[in-house]
């Protein structure tokens, strides 16, 4: 893969959100075709609708339903449906959710079948995706089940900061009960392994935030830090891992302590993502760590308030594509560096022999 252009699947997200606009604007830069072969899971009609709104950039594509006929010199639109679909930019409709899920399911199956090298997902909305055939709160739990992962970690990162979430989209009232030793052991294990395999960090240093204000103040504001969080941290330290905490979240971010660590594990959604989005400044990427495949997405939602107005910022979406390619490369490098040395040597010798034969011919 390091010497080839990977095939990257891109879902359309909610067709009434900013997903199609982000796709057109980002992929209109033909230089991206030097890095990968993009396959957008949508329909020609949806893409053409938004192309008429976004007139300032040239966007050409090839239409296909056959992976053996991908055009490596153009963006490929894989038609997931042919029927006419009402498009209402900015509106939360059942139709928008239905076709967002159609795009996701087709793309995920193609990824599972090996027709794609990785997946980038445009935003969907929880308000219209709770369907009989999609009983999930979002992309992460769906992909976890689809690819048979024992557990996964929602990991958002930018140049300055990586934040993993112990819990994701659950009510605050249920967070404390969800924080168990088993959960933290699993999430920290996934985070550590991902930092090594996906980011090339040999000895990752991880900070763990507390659940309560001031990390419980020695039990005066809750005791989850003493009974649950700290024992897990100490157990990992005894295994030789660089895991520290628990830290009070407010001081941790206010003092820029995150700069001393390779990643941070937050206990719940807003504890980690509120400071992350402030620090990342629109350049964040969401990565599902713990899966056998690579999936990234922008760190924002459908943005219905600006959909169809041609003002969406592509920064995070573009980063999701570039980071997807970087993650693939890191995984390839890790696999090569940790392969059986005898087998690796034999493969390298075979390649040398093939090169010599080609030169002689």
**In the predicted model, what is the mean pLDDT of residues 24-51?**
95
What is the pLDDT, as a whole number, of residue 1?
44
Q: Which residues pair with 319 in a beta bridge?
A: none
Mean residue pLDDT across the chain = 92
The confidence band for 343, taking pLDDT boundaries of 50, 70 and 90, is: low
Report long-range pairs for 93-96 (Cβ below 8 Å, ≥24 apart).
93/16, 93/128, 94/128, 95/15, 95/16, 96/14, 96/15, 96/16, 96/17, 96/125, 96/128
CA distances from 195 to 116, 190, 200, 228, 297 (A): 23, 9, 6, 24, 18
Measured from the Cβ of residue 100, the count of other Cβ atoms closer than 10 Å reads 29
Encode pLDDT of 211-239 as tens digits.
Answer: 999 998 989 999 999 999 999 999 999 99
Alpha helices in the chain (DSSP H): 19-27, 44-51, 94-112, 139-146, 175-178, 181-197, 224, 230-238, 249-254, 269-280, 315-337, 341-360
Give residue limits of the domains in the chain: 1-149+291-361, 151-287
Please determine, for residue 341, whether its predicted confidence score (pLDDT) is greater than 50.
Answer: yes
Of 19 and 341, the structure prediction assigns the larger pLDDT to 19
Phi then psi for residue 45, to 5 deg, are -65, -40
The mean per-residue pLDDT over the stretch 58-79 comes to 91
Question: Out of 261-270, 316-325, 332-341, which region has the weakest mean confidence (pLDDT)?
Answer: 332-341
User: Which top CATH class is 1-149+291-361?
Assistant: alpha beta
Per-residue exposure over 237-266, b if at least 16 CB sit within 10 Å of its own CB, e if not = eeeebebbbbbbbeebbeeeebeebbbbbb
For position 53, what pLDDT does the model report? 94
User: Percent of the chain, pLDDT > 70?
Assistant: 94
- Confidence label for 4 from pLDDT (cuts 50, 70 and 90): confident
Nearest to 265 by CA among 203, 334, 195: 195
The hierarchical CATH code for the domain 151-287 is 3.40.718.10
pLDDT at 339: 83
Alpha-carbon distance 120 to 129, whole Å?
Answer: 18
pLDDT, tens digit, 9 for 90 and up, residues 121-161: 999 999 999 888 899 988 999 999 999 999 999 999 999 89
**Structure confidence at residue 2 (pLDDT):** 44
Residues with Cβ within 8 Å of 50's Cβ and at least 6 positions away in sequence, in order, are 20, 21, 24, 308
| pLDDT tens-digit series, residues 80-123 | 999 999 999 999 999 999 999 999 999 999 999 999 999 999 99
Q: Do domains 1-149+291-361 and 151-287 have the same CATH topology?
A: yes
CA distance 279 to 226: 29
- Where does the pLDDT of residue 45 fall: very low under 50, low under 70, confident under 90, or very high at 90 and above? very high
Which range among 1-10, 57-66, 86-95, 311-320 shows the weakest confidence by mean pLDDT?
1-10
pTM of the model: 0.88
What does the pLDDT read at residue 7?
A: 96
Window from 110-124, 249-263, 284-298, 329-343 with minimum mean pLDDT:
329-343
Selected residue with higher pLDDT from 195 and 58: 195
For 159-175, the pLDDT digits (tens) are 989 999 999 989 999 99
């Amino acid at each position: 893969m390091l010497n080839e252009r990977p095939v990257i699947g891109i879902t359309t997200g909610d067709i009434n959100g900013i997903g199609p606009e982000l796709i057109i604007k980002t992929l209109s830069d033909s230089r991206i075709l030097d890095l990968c072969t993009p396959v957008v899971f949508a329909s020609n009609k949806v893409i053409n609708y938004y192309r008429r709104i976004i007139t300032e950039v040239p966007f050409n594509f090839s239409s296909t339903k056959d992976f053996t006929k991908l055009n490596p010199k153009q963006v490929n639109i894989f038609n997931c449906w042919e029927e006419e679909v009402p498009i209402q930019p900015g509106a939360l409709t059942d139709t928008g959710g239905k076709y967002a899920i159609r795009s996701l399911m087709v793309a995920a199956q193609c990824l599972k079948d090996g027709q794609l090298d990785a997946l980038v997902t445009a935003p969907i909305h929880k308000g219209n995706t709770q369907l009989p055939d999609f009983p999930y709160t979002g992309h992460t739990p769906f992909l976890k089940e689809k690819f048979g992962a024992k557990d996964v970690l929602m990991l958002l990162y930018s140049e300055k900061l990586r934040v993993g979430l112990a819990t994701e989209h659950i009510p605050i009232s249920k967070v404390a009960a969800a924080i168990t030793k088993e959960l933290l052991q699993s999430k920290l294990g996934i985070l550590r392994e991902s930092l090594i395999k996906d980011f090339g960090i040999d000895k990752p240093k991880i900070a763990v935030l507390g659940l309560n204000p001031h990390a419980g103040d020695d039990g005066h504001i809750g005791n989850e830090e003493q009974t649950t969080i700290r024992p897990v941290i100490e157990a990992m330290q005894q295994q030789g891992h660089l895991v520290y905490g628990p830290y009070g979240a407010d001081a941790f971010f206010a003092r820029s302590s995150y700069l001393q660590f390779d990643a941070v594990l937050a206990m719940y959604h807003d504890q980690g993502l509120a400071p992350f989005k402030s620090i990342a400044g629109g350049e964040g990427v969401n990565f599902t760590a713990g899966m056998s495949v690579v999936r990234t997405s922008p760190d924002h939602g459908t943005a219905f308030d600006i959909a169809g107005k041609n003002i969406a910022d592509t920064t995070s979406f573009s980063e999701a594509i570039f980071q997807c390619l970087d993650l693939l490369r890191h995984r390839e490098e890790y696999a090569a560096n940790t392969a059986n040395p005898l087998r690796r040597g034999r493969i390298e010798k075979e390649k040398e022999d093939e090169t010599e034969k080609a030169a002689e011919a």
